[in-house]
Each structure stands twice: as C-alpha cells, then as structure tokens.
Amino acid sequence: MRDRVYRTEAVIIRRSDFGEADRLLTLMTPQGKRRVVAKGVRKTTSRLAGHIELFTYTTMLLAVGRNLDIVTQSVIRASYDGLRGDLERIGAAYYVAELIDRMTEDEDENRRAFELLVSTLGALDTSRSPDLVLRHYELHLLDALGFRPQLRECAMCQELLDEDTRHFSPAAGGALCPRCAPADRSASRMSLASFKLLRFLQMQPVEAVERLSLSQEVRREAEQLLRAYIRRILERDLKSVEFLEDVRSAL
C-alpha cells in the first residue's frame, strides 16, 4: 500500500491553471509521469509558487489525494536560469518537455528517461550547441523507450552498414544499406556527414556535442531525419517544433 505522504525527484514538464488559485502540474519522475495539483500557488502569499516553475528540477513532498496527489513541499535542485533568458534555449526546453510527455504514459517507470531529461536540461542551460543537444536527446530518448533507430545494421536486412549508406527509412526504423534502399521509395536521402553524426550522438554522452564543429546543412539534415522518424512514431508533429522554427526565423 502506498504511503499517504511520499517524496520524489521531479521535473515539471507542463502546468496549467486549475480552479480558483491552484495549478495542475505534469511531473516527470523516476517512477514515471504523473499529474498532481499545487493548491493555492496562484495567490500572492504562496511560498510554494517559486518552487514549481516550468522545467524546474525539484525534490517534492506529495500527499496522496482522492483524484490527484497534492504538492505539500518543493525544494529546487536545479532551476536552469541560463536557458530562461534565451529564446532559442527556452524553445528547446519546451520541445524536450513535450517530446517526453507525448512519448510516455502515466506511471510508466523509466529512470533512464528521467535522468536523460535532467541531463538534457542541464546541457541546454550551458551548451554552445543547443540544437545538437536536442539531437542527442532524441536519439537517447528513443532508445530508452524502445524506439532506437538502427544506425549500425541495415533496418531491413541487418547487414552491417558502411560509408556507402545514403538512405534513412522512418518506416523501416533506421538506415538502409545500398541494396535495400530501393525497396523503400519513401526513404530519405542522407549524407555521409549526417550519417556519421547520428551514429556518433547515439553512442556518446551529451557532453560530447561540445567537441563537434559542423555546418548548418549537416545539422539541419540530421534534424529533419529524426523529425521524420519521430513523426512516424507519434503520427503527428509537436507544437513546439513550429515555435522553434519561428524563433530561428526571427534570429
């Protein structure tokens, strides 16, 4: 039986007004995604309000409620102030939060996905290449949730891929060898540089992106390839993608 009061690490990935003065929060925790209510936090006298900002990494004390658990205490572990002052970084944080929200179910425990979320927000806070941080996040989240794109072996025949690989198939689940590529007319063309980038990011920690120096063409191509793959899985585009594009066009 679950304790009436319990403590958990959490990242706030979504929030909305609820009732007269409350907020409904969507949390990502090591035990999975859950929705909770923070009572009275929209009142000017609330001491809790500053501890439940969007994208904040906290330790929360929660009381079990009839329908929704209730936040009784929240202590900030990391607030990621650097990303909040930069429009591109805050747009990237919205994307990070929306992607994990859409790809996970409530109460589906996945500590690896939670730790990836925390490390990605930390990287977005300081990285010189927030776009590459997102590519790393996409690849590792897909892996953690069982959707790892095949980049070492052909997604159709399982033969080892080499530098002649030039196609990526969202439908097949990854890159295709030259022999199998004609079988999927919807497969996207992929440059060798983008292929190498995706393979590199799939195997490296997020800190490795700081070592990379790449053209905008390669960065955009890798983004489009992964976006097509994620669209295939979710059967939709994320709202935050449009926001990111608007931000880029304004820079």
* Mean model confidence pLDDT for the chain: 95
* Digit-coded pLDDT (tens) for 108-135: 999 999 999 999 999 999 999 999 999 9
* Digit-coded pLDDT (tens) for 208-224: 999 999 999 999 999 99
What lies within 8 Å, CB to CB, of 99 at 6+ separation is: 137, 138, 141, 230, 238, 240
Helix 216-234 / helix 130-144 crossing angle, nearest 10 deg: 30
Domain ranges of the chain: 5-79, 82-250
CB contact at 8 A, 172 and 164: no
CB contact at 8 A, 96 and 134: yes
Find the mean pLDDT for residues 127-153: 97
Strand order in the sheet with 174-176: 174-176, 167-169, 188-189
In this predicted structure, what is the pLDDT of residue 2? 58
* Digit-coded pLDDT (tens) for 72-99: 999 999 999 988 889 999 999 999 999 9
CA nearest to 205, candidates 87, 123, 124: 123
End-to-end CA distance of the chain: 53
What lies within 8 Å, CB to CB, of 250 at 6+ separation is: 87
Q: Is the pLDDT of residue 156 over 90?
A: yes
Cα separation, 13 vs 34, in Å, equals: 10
Is CATH 1.20.1440.120 correct for 82-250?
A: yes
- Token pair listed for 66: 């009839």
In this predicted structure, what is the pLDDT of residue 19? 87
Q: Is 247 exposed, middle or buried (0-12, 13-18, 19+ CB in 10 A)?
A: middle
Is CATH 2.40.30.170 correct for 5-79?
A: no
- Token pair listed for 143: 């892996």
